[in-house]
């Protein structure tokens, strides 16, 4: 297999992933071992990790709907250690000139305030630089940022695999509906083991 893979790591931040977090996704800590496996695999094999990160100002209007979370500069806004690579490149949620040459391995973090990673104005440029033939998506929460970001990639024509044993949703009903939408959009459902086997020959 010669196609180029990119891993999409969605919002694996302390406020979502840990029971002490401000907007904890129930059971999210249970997928941390699988997240660790995916990130370690990416680091070993040179698969670039495109990570989304909520980065809210203290007065974000979304806090009328959700408890304040992932406020810029707070401990809860940081990623969990298991999904943090050394020296990540952080792309803020404003138009910037991307570095040249653009890193094609390691971790690229796109900050955002909306559910969808493509709401960062640099998303399309970063995706163009990475040139993924296929993306493996994982993280939280299934029916919000995972769904929105995976569907954004499909709208760009990128094939997407959803790593089902490395995601968590807020509610069972919401997760079921989101999974149905993603399946209808042509997203494949896979496991950590399948991704490890599939990408092993391509990087």
- Say if residues 44 and 105 touch (Cβ distance below 8 Å): no
State residue 196's pLDDT score. Answer: 83
For the chain, the domains span 5-199
DSSP-derived letter for residue 96 is -
For all residues of the chain together, what is the average pLDDT?
94
What whole-number distance in Å separates Cα of residue 105 and Cα of residue 90? 14
What pTM was computed for the model? 0.95
pLDDT in tens, 94-107: 999 999 999 888 99
Architecture of domain 5-199: 3-Layer(aba) Sandwich (3.40)
State residue 203's pLDDT score. Answer: 32
pLDDT in tens, 54-73: 999 999 999 999 999 999 99
């Amino acid at each position: 297999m010669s196609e180029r893979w990119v891993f999409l790591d969605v919002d694996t931040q302390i406020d979502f992933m840990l029971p002490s977090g401000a907007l904890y996704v129930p059971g999210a800590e249970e997928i941390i071992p699988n997240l660790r496996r995916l990130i370690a695999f990416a680091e070993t094999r040179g698969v670039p990790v495109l990570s989304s990160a909520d980065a809210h100002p203290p007065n974000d209007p979304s806090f009328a709907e959700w408890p304040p979370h992932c406020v810029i500069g707070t401990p809860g806004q940081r990623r969990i250690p298991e999904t943090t690579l050394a020296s990540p490149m952080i792309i803020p949620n404003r138009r910037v000139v991307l570095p040249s040459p653009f890193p094609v391995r390691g971790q690229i973090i796109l900050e955002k305030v909306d559910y969808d990673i493509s709401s960062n104005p640099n998303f399309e440029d970063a995706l163009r630089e990475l040139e993924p033939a296929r993306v493996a998506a994982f993280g939280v929460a299934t029916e919000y940022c995972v769904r929105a970001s995976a569907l954004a990639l499909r709208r760009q024509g990128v094939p997407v695999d959803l790593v089902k044993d490395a995601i968590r949703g807020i509610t069972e009903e919401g997760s079921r509906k989101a999974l149905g939408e993603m399946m209808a959009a042509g997203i494949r459902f896979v496991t950590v083991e399948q991704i490890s086997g599939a990408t092993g020959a391509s990087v």
